[in-house]
Chain A
């Protein structure tokens, strides 16, 4: 069917808008590169690891303390949120009576919608003093991990829930016919069948944890140091950018953009892998 003249004009307009939307990613990448170029040009990348410390004003750019803080907090949060999130999904799918399951799912959705600054504020005023009683100073890697867990748990739970929902009903009927117990059904059939969806959800959650700024800025203490215990104060890459962007100039500013670029690539790698995994999902 051929398009009328007005329709053709509309199509051109739409195409223009869509290309603009698609070009945004390139624009972001371009500007991150442009801003970090001064540092990338005359400082070898290895110096972000080998320099003595992070004193950008004196030209020292060691990023490893921030990198390890980001890694540890993400790892901790993912390790805690994965079992809790999967258990939450199993609860609303197989254990709770249907009314309760609906309420619980709604609760998880509400939890997902709580702004990160509110989570951070709660961590700072409630969680940090509690942990401070246990071992001062309270604002620490552990507090960060706990708040992050709370924030990424909904991502794991909701994606696991929809992955479980997509398991074919025939599998469940087959299991019932074989007389499997509920746990036998879950561990033997539904979890393996939903594995790729759940893994993709965990990857997305990890991406969210790495990119989270406000909560970590508020509860992790912001001391630039290599953490030796869970109770040490740390500063993540994201918190570092948020703290220093306000006054950074010249090479210092460029170094912050380099860490932003590194963050973007890490998160994209995770999101991309998640996409690949969930695309491969097939039920026979």
Chain B
């Protein structure tokens, strides 16, 4: 009886403590960040090593890196997921091989992706420190998440669709485009969202692939500083950079939230225009 009461107390205490620390962390970032946040801060270029000025070019670089990563990773992961779910048996050799190597890829630490990206994209392929190298490194990193979620989404499409489409004489590709992909859309979008979330939060893999240059990038071959790298640089290497670091951290968190909600509304729209929504 006593043990039961003690356990109840301890578990409630843990929950309150975890929530408390979460609120503490969030308010510590949000409150100082909000006082300094303005449109000018979002649009201006950083001056004096980032101590003053804004983060305009850094936001653009971050978005470009994300764009490169997602444009590369999405088609590749969609194709892999379709192959795994629709064109192979679950326990076939190809399926097991691909799944196994993706499980391994998912466990690789981000700093190792950074090393690989530096050695492969920057030096071996000669892309140098550039937005392209950073984006491609992140694409490798988010591949397992995208494939896993897309595969789960496709697999959860009702088997009746496949049977009915086959009975109507639809080709596999038509079935895929008109039935399976729309019905898996929420899962695909959710996966994309997870991938973007992971990519936008990433720092270690970007520091030696996309670099530290905080100017406005002219092309994808320019080095561009990501927002997370900017926060790191301001807080560690620039004395007196904390004010702008707080605001940048706030922008990073807001960016994550915005991406999240845009993806959700996209998922809804897509579903609305598909066959599945009329059943």
**B-binding residues in A (CB < 8 A):** 1, 3-4, 6-7, 10-11, 13-15, 17-28, 31-32, 34-35, 83-84, 87-88, 90-92, 95-96, 104, 107-108, 110-111, 113-122, 124-126, 150, 153, 181-184, 186, 207, 210-214, 217-218, 238, 241-242, 245-246, 256-257, 260, 263-264, 267-268, 270-272, 275
Contacts and interface: CB of A to CB of B under 8 A. Distances in A.
A88 B76 contact: no
Contact of A118 (B15, B82, B207, B231): B231
Contact of A257 (B79, B109, B119): B119
Contacts of B274: none
Given A110-B22, A116-B204, A122-B25, 10 more contacts: A7-B171, A11-B172, A92-B15, A115-B253, A122-B28, A212-B109, A214-B204, A246-B208, A264-B108, A268-B108
Contacts of A107: 18-19, 22
Contacts, number: 237
A20 B102 CA distance: 11
A20 B4 contact: no
Interface of B: 1, 3-4, 7-8, 10-12, 14-15, 17-19, 21-22, 24-25, 28-29, 75-77, 79-80, 82-84, 87, 94, 97-98, 101-116, 118-120, 124, 140, 143, 147, 166, 171-173, 197, 200-204, 207-208, 228-229, 231-232, 235-236, 242, 245, 249, 252-253, 256
Contacts of B232: 117, 120-121, 214, 217-218
A31 B80 contact: no
Contacts of B140: 24, 28
Contact of B112 (A96, A104, A120, A264): A264
B173 A153 contact: no
B252 A118 contact: yes
26 contacts: A15-B83, A17-B76, A18-B83, A19-B98, A24-B140, A25-B108, A27-B120, A28-B116, A83-B14, A90-B11, A113-B201, A115-B200, A115-B252, A125-B242, A211-B109, A211-B110, A211-B111, A214-B203, A214-B204, A217-B232, A218-B235, A238-B204, A245-B115, A257-B115, A268-B108, A271-B104
What secondary structure prevails in chain B residues at the interface with A? Answer: helix
A267 B113 CA distance: 13
B108 A267 contact: yes
Contacts of B97: 22
B83 A17 contact: yes
A245 B118 CA distance: 10
